[in-house]
Chains A and B, each alone.
Chain A
Amino acid sequence: MINSQNIHDGAPIRRRSGRQRRKQLAGLLFIAPALILVATFFVIPLGMAFWMSLHNWPLLGRPRFIGFGNYIRLTQDAQFWSSMRFTVYYTVIVTIAIFAVAFPLALFAEKAHRFTKFYRTAFFLPVVVGFGSASLLWAWLLDVDSGLFSPAAEYLGLMTTRINLLADFDTTFWSIIIMVVWKTAGFNMIILLTGLQGISTEVQEAARIDGASSLQRFRRITLPLMRRTIALALILSVSGSMLAFDQFYIIADGGPQNRTVTAVYWIFSQSFGSFRLGYGAALSMVLLVILVFISVVQLRLLRNPEGM
């Protein structure tokens, strides 16, 4: 029935029967709840965010239009630049670290052994735990008095005294990198695994018969054929890391000396700590543009893998 109606769509004789119009209306009604939600809680806020970014907008009191004043101010905001720099630095390091762990895991989990399924599940379990829970868990492991790492290092004689890992920038930073790798390597492993499984065994087999070593096969066959998957995992990791917040807020509280304040963290503290909503909105717009740019690059890469 539906098919016979489709034939009339766009046909020269535009005879729209009442029934057909009713069907159109039914279709719209089915998607109406979704449309209302997206309009109310996404499209309108998005427009508002831009509108607010052009104002001096306190939490209470009347907003004042200031044009691009907020945008001019953010170019001179030292903490904004240092947050952006830190966020990019974190993104680069954590993405490399995640790949360095997830790729071997995927190669390991691709093998068909009796316990492979158990290992896969074990590597993946931290992924389903929330970032909030994982951060609270690691905040404890990193604690100087009640935690695991410092006391264990002292106990094993690696350190003479207990070091507060969260008092120093580098130890804080690398602790959080390890925590995020632990939390997300399994996710990237699964993505990379789908790519690995897409490579036909015949190609690998043919190369093996031709005498290619396993390293050669990895470099010349596996990696090139997985370009699309790697691009996907890479960009999911980059866009996720650019928006990092939970772990820096919960574990480090942005410290020491505000040096682990990420972009989202700075927006959060400007908007809901200092209640400079207009300024926070301007910061948000900058972040949004960066993230949309990353997504557009992602779509390009995925559509046209040769463009890499």
Chain B
Amino acid sequence: MSARRSASARHLFASLRYNGLGIIAAFLFLAPLAWSVLVSFKPSVEARQPPLPPWPVGGFSVQSYENLAKYGAGIWTYTGNSLTVALATVVASVVVSLLAGYGFSRFHFPFKNVLFVLIISTVMIPFQSILTPLFLILTKLGLQNTLTGIVLVYVTLQLPFSIFMMRNAFDAVPKEIEDAARVDGASIFAVLYRIMLPLVLPGVVTVAIFAFLASWNEFLAALILLTDQNKYTLPVLMAAVRSGQFGTIDWGAVQSGVTLMMAPCLVLFLGLQRYYIRGLTAGAVK
């Protein structure tokens, strides 16, 4: 009797200790995020004070968001820029890597392996070291200071990962499936779109999430390649606000900008966690 009771007591103690540690650690990781979101809903005057307590004392307010909206060309312009860049990067990354992944998985042509290794190995070279020539090339192409230009750069930077993911996705589909469809007389594109796409959809979702997060959050290339203030993406705008380019720093407004930038990332991750972790481990471990 007493032995069983002490065993269950020990079990309870271990569980308490585990969850106690877990809650403390989880708090340390989540608190900064929560603190930022909470201060963004304080009235402006209160947001200037240290965030103790972290929640709005003088009532819930969207003043910081109203102040954020007034910077430069207006927050809608910058949110629009960021969304345009991120969504265009997602679509272009998916299309280009879908085609290339299919090509590398299912066709034989000269230099196939060399070209695959060439594309994948660009991941070893830091893009930070080619930003100056990229700036000049985009200028030559008339794409400097355009969202199109930065989208093309982002898509290229995502390609090694995207193509690697998509080729693996196609490799996992048995060849017999499309052979059967081809016998029925379907064209290559019909097979790719109708038969293959649904089968590689998990890979597509992974490619899309990584393309979105990378382009939505990217800072350095955007800072260099977008010099016209009306073309800024959110990170470039907010860094300008932080550096005092728009006058005294309004920390409430800065944190409302941070909240705006974090929200889609957190929602996307929490909604599609499975695909995200899959991409992370596949991309990193292989």
Are B18's CB and A141's CB within 8 A? no
**Other 18 A-B pairs with CB < 8 A, given A136-B258, A147-B50:** A30-B100, A34-B96, A41-B156, A42-B122, A108-B22, A115-B19, A119-B22, A122-B25, A123-B26, A126-B32, A146-B51, A151-B52, A152-B50, A155-B52, A187-B280, A191-B281, A267-B128, A267-B129
List chain A residues, Cβ under 8 A from B104.
Answer: 31
B21 within 8 A of A: yes
The residue that B128 contacts in the complex, of A131, A243, A272, with Cβ under 8 A, is: A243
A interface with B by C-beta (< 8 Å): 1-3, 5-6, 9, 23-31, 33-35, 37-38, 40-42, 44-46, 48-49, 52, 105, 108, 111, 113, 115-116, 118-119, 121-126, 128-133, 136-141, 143, 145-148, 151-152, 155, 182, 185-187, 190-191, 194, 229, 232, 236, 239, 243, 245-246, 249-250, 253, 264, 267-268, 271-272, 277, 280-281, 284-285, 287-288, 291-292, 295-296
Within 8 A of A (CB), among B1-26: 15, 18-19, 21-22, 25-26
Selected contact of B188 from candidates A26, A38, A130, CB within 8 Å: A26
Residue from B21, B104, B122, B128 with most neighbouring chain A CB atoms (10 Å):
B128
Contacting B238 at CB < 8 Å: which of A44, A52, A132?
A: A132
Whether B109 contacts A291 by the Cβ 8 Å rule is no
Q: Is there contact, CB below 8 Å, between B261 and A23?
A: no
Known: A37-B152, A121-B270, A133-B262. A31 touches B284 (CB 8 A): no
Asked, given contacts A128-B269, A246-B220, whether A34 binds B159 with beta carbons under 8 Å apart, the answer is yes
B115 touching A37 by the CB < 8 A rule?
Answer: no
Binary flags per residue of B157-198, CB closer than 8 Å to A gives 1, else 0: 001000100000000000100010011000010000000000
Interface CB pairs A-B, < 8 A, 20: A23-B108, A24-B107, A24-B110, A28-B107, A45-B130, A45-B133, A108-B21, A115-B19, A119-B26, A128-B265, A130-B216, A131-B219, A133-B261, A139-B242, A146-B49, A151-B50, A190-B277, A264-B220, A267-B129, A287-B128
The answer to whether A284 touches B132, judged by C-beta atoms less than 8 angstroms apart, is: yes
B112 interfacial by beta-carbon distance below 8 Å:
yes
Q: Is the interface of A mostly helix, strand, loop or mixed?
A: helix
- Interface membership of chain B positions 126-143, coded 1 if the CB is closer than 8 angstroms to chain A and 0 otherwise: 101111111011000000
Report the separation of the CA atoms of residues A245 and B102 in the bound assembly, to the nearest whole angstrom. 36
Kindly state the separation between the CA atoms of A138 and B262 in the bound complex, as whole angstroms: 13
Give the residue name and chain of the B residue nearest to A29 (CB): B103
Q: Are A141 and B32 in contact (CB under 8 A)?
A: yes
Assuming the A-B contacts A24-B108, A232-B284, A284-B129, are A146 and B270 also in contact, with contact meaning beta carbons closer than 8 angstroms in the complex?
no
In-complex Cβ contact of B15 among A113, A129, A194 (8 A): A113
Interface size of B by Cβ–Cβ distance < 8 Å? 93
- Chain A residues closer than 8 Å to B219, beta-carbon distance: 130-132, 245-246, 250
> Which residue in chain A gives the minimum CB-CB distance to B95?
A33
A186 to B30, CA, bound (A): 12
Q: Digit string of B48-91 for contact with A (CB within 8 Å is 1, else 0)? A: 11111000000000000000000000000000000000000000
Bound complex: CA A116 to CA B25 (Å): 12
Enumerate chain A residues within 8 angstroms of B277, measured Cβ to Cβ: 190
B238: min CB distance to chain A, Å = 5
Residues of A within 8 A of B134 (CB): 41, 45
Decide if B22 touches A37 in the complex (CB within 8 Å).
no
CB contacts (< 8 Å) of A239 on chain B: these are 126
Cβ-closest chain A residue relative to B98? A30
A245 touches B128 (CB 8 A): yes
Task: Report the minimum CB–CB distance from A71 to chain B (whole Å).
Answer: 14
Q: Are A34 and B163 in contact (CB under 8 A)?
A: yes
Min CB distance, A115 to chain B, in Å?
6
B29 contacts across to A, CB distance below 8 A: 122-123, 125-126, 182, 185-186
Cβ contact within 8 Å between B175 and A3: yes
- A250's partner among B239, B255, B284, B285 (CB-CB below 8 A) is B239
B132 to A271, Cβ gap below 8 A? yes
The CA-CA distance from A42 to B118 in the complex, in Å, is: 11
B213 in the interface (beta carbon within 8 A)? yes
Given contacts A6-B108, A125-B269, contact A132 B129 (CB under 8 A): no
* Contact present for A129 and B266 (CB under 8 Å): yes
A288→B224 contact, CB < 8 A:
no
